[in-house]
C-alpha cells in the first residue's frame, strides 16, 4: 500500500498503523487488520456472541488462548479452583478453545502463564504486529515494537469473526527518559513517577512511545514493565522501537520466524523505528537520575511518591475533585497526611502480575531476600510456568522458600483477585502489581504498589522500606 506520507518522516506507531489500515471510513475510523488476538477465560462473552450468530473464529491460526485470570496457584487442575464457579470458568475456556479449533495453553500446559508474559516468551508477540486481547494490560506487548492494546468483549467478538477492528487513530506521545537510573530504581519506578507527574488520565487517547538512553539500556523484561503500566496513565498503548536487544530476545522463540524468513522479518523490523524528524502530538521528558524508588499511598496509580516522601495533605491538591479524591483515598487506606512512607507497617507481600513477574523481577527480589527472612506473609506467583521452571533452575525458588515466601504456580492471582487469592479486608499489601484501586486485591484490601526489590525489602522488615538502605 502506498501513502502520501511515504517520504515524510514517520513514527514507529504511524508505520505499524499505516501497514495495517485496510481502509479508512469516510467518517474517520480505520478498519485495522489484527495479526494476533489473545484469549483468556474472561472472553466467554465473545464466544457466546459468536455462537448466537452461528459464526466461528475466522483465522484460528492467528488466535491463541492462555488461561490466567482464574487459574489456581496452589494446583494445576480446575479441581484445585477456589470455588465451583471459578472451576467452571477454567473449563468453559477449554471448551471454547476446542470449539473454535484454537491453540491454547490450558492450566496444565507447560506454556501456561499470564497472557502478557507468555505471548512475548513464546514469540507470539513480534515487532511490527497488531495485537489485541480483552485485557487492558495488552499494552505490555508493545515493548517489542508492536501496536498492542486492550479491547472489550464486543470488539473481541468482532476480531474473532473478521480478524479486523474499527478504531480511531490515537494521538501520539513520546516519553523520553534521559540519563541513567540510580541504584535500586527500576522500570516500575519510572512509570510510577511518570503517572504521578502526568496523572492517571494524563495520556488519554494517546499511543506512547518510550525513548531515551534509559529505555535503550533496558532489557526486554524492563520494557515490558514500562509498556504494561501505560494503561495506568490512560494511554491507548505503549511501545518501544525494536533494536538489537529486541532481536536477540525474539530470536529462537517458538512462534518467531526462522532461517530465510527471519531475514525477511528483520528487513521489515529494522525499518520500524521512528524516523529522525518525525513529530509527536505530545512530548514528555524525564531525567532518569532524578527518579527514586516509588510507592503509592492512595487508590489511584497517580498517588505515587518517592519512598523518601510523605503522604500529601489533600488540601495541597489543585482542584476540589482531587482534594475530595485524596481525602477519600486516605480514609480508605487508613492513612494520615504527613506520614512518612518509609517505615509504614504492612501485613503482607505479593510478588507477581503481568507488571512484575518475569525472571528478572524474581532475580531482583531474590537478590534482596538471600539469607534473610520475611517478617510478614508473602507469596511469589511467577508470570509463567516457564519463568517458574527457570527460577527453580537458577535457585531463586529456594531463596524465596528459605525466606518464608510461598512459591506458587503461575497466573494473575492476587493482582486481579479473581481466582480466590485475595488480600483480606483492612490488610495492607506491598504489591508488585499494577492497580491500587479500592477493593482490587479483594474487598477492603489496601494496596501499595512497588517494584519487586522494594516488595522484597518490605517483606524483610514488615514495613515499606527504601531498598537502597538494605
For another protein, the binding residues in 221-260 under the rule CB under 8 A are: 231-232, 234, 236, 255-257
CB-nearer residue toward another protein: 136 or 274? 136
Pairing of strands 30-33, 21-24: antiparallel
Q: Tell whether residue 53 is a contact of another protein (CB under 8 A).
A: yes
CB of 246 to another protein, least distance (A): 16
Distance between CA 146 and CA 238 in Å, rounded?
Answer: 9
**Phi first, then psi: what are they for 24, rounded to 5°?**
-115, 125
Q: Tell whether residue 31 is a contact of another protein (CB under 8 A).
A: yes
Distance between CA 272 and CA 239 in Å, rounded?
Answer: 12
CB of 227 to another protein, least distance (A): 15
Q: Tell whether residue 265 is a contact of another protein (CB under 8 A).
A: yes
CA angle 367, 368, 371 (to 5 degrees): 90
CB-nearer residue toward another protein: 136 or 386? 136
* Torsion sign across C-alpha atoms 193, 142, 205, 50: negative
C-alpha cell at 95: 471448551
CB-nearer residue toward another protein: 31 or 284? 31
Q: Where in 106-135 is the site for another protein (CB under 8 A)?
A: 129, 134-135
Q: Tell whether residue 423 is a contact of another protein (CB under 8 A).
A: no
Distance between CA 90 and CA 73 in Å, rounded?
Answer: 13
Q: Where in 194-213 is the site for another protein (CB under 8 A)?
A: 200-201, 204-205
User: Which one among 157, 215, 291, 457 touches another protein, defined by CB under 8 A?
Assistant: 157
User: Which one among 261, 281, 283, 392 touches another protein, defined by CB under 8 A?
Assistant: 261
Q: Tell whether residue 325 is a contact of another protein (CB under 8 A).
A: yes
CB of 201 to another protein, least distance (A): 4
Q: Which residues contact 419 (CB under 8 A, 6 or more apart)?
A: 69, 70, 71, 72, 73, 81, 82, 86, 411, 412, 413
CB-nearer residue toward another protein: 328 or 398? 328
CB of 321 to another protein, least distance (A): 5
How many residues belong to the site for another protein (CB under 8 A)?
78
Counted residue by residue, the chain has a size of 470
Dihedral, CA of residue 142, residue 185, residue 344 and residue 231, to nearest 10 = -10
User: Which one among 328, 363, 372, 468 touches another protein, defined by CB under 8 A?
Assistant: 328
Amino acid at each position: 500500500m502506498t501513502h502520501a506520507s511515504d517520504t515524510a518522516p514517520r513514527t514507529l506507531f504511524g508505520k505499524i498503523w499505516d501497514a495495517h489500515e485496510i481502509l479508512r471510513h469516510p467518517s474517520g475510523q480505520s478498519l485495522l487488520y489484527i495479526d494476533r488476538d489473545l484469549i483468556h477465560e474472561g472472553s466467554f462473552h465473545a464466544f457466546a456472541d459468536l455462537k448466537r450468530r452461528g459464526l466461528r473464529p475466522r483465522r484460528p491460526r492467528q488466535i491463541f488462548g492462555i488461561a490466567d485470570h482464574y487459574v489456581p496457584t496452589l494446583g494445576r487442575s480446575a479441581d484445585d479452583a477456589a470455588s465451583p464457579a471459578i472451576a467452571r470458568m477454567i473449563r468453559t475456556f477449554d471448551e471454547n478453545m476446542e470449539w473454535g479449533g484454537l491453540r491454547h495453553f490450558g492450566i496444565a500446559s507447560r506454556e501456561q502463564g499470564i497472557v502478557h508474559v507468555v505471548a512475548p516468551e513464546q514469540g507470539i508477540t513480534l515487532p511490527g504486529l497488531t495485537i489485541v486481547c480483552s485485557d487492558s494490560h495488552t499494552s505490555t506487548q508493545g515493548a517489542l515494537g508492536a501496536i498492542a492494546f486492550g479491547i472489550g468483549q464486543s470488539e473481541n467478538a468482532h476480531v474473532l469473526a473478521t480478524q479486523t477492528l474499527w478504531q480511531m487513530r490515537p494521538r501520539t506521545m513520546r516519553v523520553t527518559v534521559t540519563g541513567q537510573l540510580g541504584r535500586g530504581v527500576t522500570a516500575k519506578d519510572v512509570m510510577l513517577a511518570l503517572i504521578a507527574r502526568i496523572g492517571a488520565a494524563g495520556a488519554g487517547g494517546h499511543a506512547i512511545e518510550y525513548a531515551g538512553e534509559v529505555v535503550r539500556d533496558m532489557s526486554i523484561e524492563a520494557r515490558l514493565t514500562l509498556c504494561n503500566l501505560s494503561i495506568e496513565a490512560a494511554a491507548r498503548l505503549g511501545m518501544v522501537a525494536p533494536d538489537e536487544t529486541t532481536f536477540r530476545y525474539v530470536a529462537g522463540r517458538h512462534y518467531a520466524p526462522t532461517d530465510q524468513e527471519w531475514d525477511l522479518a528483520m528487513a521489515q523490523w529494522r525499518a520500524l523505528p521512528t524516523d529522525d524528524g518525525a513529530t509527536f502530538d505530545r512530548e514528555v521528558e524525564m531525567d532518569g537520575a532524578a527518579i527514586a524508588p516509588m510507592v503509592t499511598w492512595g487508590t489511584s496509580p497517580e498517588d505515587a511518591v518517592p519512598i523518601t516522601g510523605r503522604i500529601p495533605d489533600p488540601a495541597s491538591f489543585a482542584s476540589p475533585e482531587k482534594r475530595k479524591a485524596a481525602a477519600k483515598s486516605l480514609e480508605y487506606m487508613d492513612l494520615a497526611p504527613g506520614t512518612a512512607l518509609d517505615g509504614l507497617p504492612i501485613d503482607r507481600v505479593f510478588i507477581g502480575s503481568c507488571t512484575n513477574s518475569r525472571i528478572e523481577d524474581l532475580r531482583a527480589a531474590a537478590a534482596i531476600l538471600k539469607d534473610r527472612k520475611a517478617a510478614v506473609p508473602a507469596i511469589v506467583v511467577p508470570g509463567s510456568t516457564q519463568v517458574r521452571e527457570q527460577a527453580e533452575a537458577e535457585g531463586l525458588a529456594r531463596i524465596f522458600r528459605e525466606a518464608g515466601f510461598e512459591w506458587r504456580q503461575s497466573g494473575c492471582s492476587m493482582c486481579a483477585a479473581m481466582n480466590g487469592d485475595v488480600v483480606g479486608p483492612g490488610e495492607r499489601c506491598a504489591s508488585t502489581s499494577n492497580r491500587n484501586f479500592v477493593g482490587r486485591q479483594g474487598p477492603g484490601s489496601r494496596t501499595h504498589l512497588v517494584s519487586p526489590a522494594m516488595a522484597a525489602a518490605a517483606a524483610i522488615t514488615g514495613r515499606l522500606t527504601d531498598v537502597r538502605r538494605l
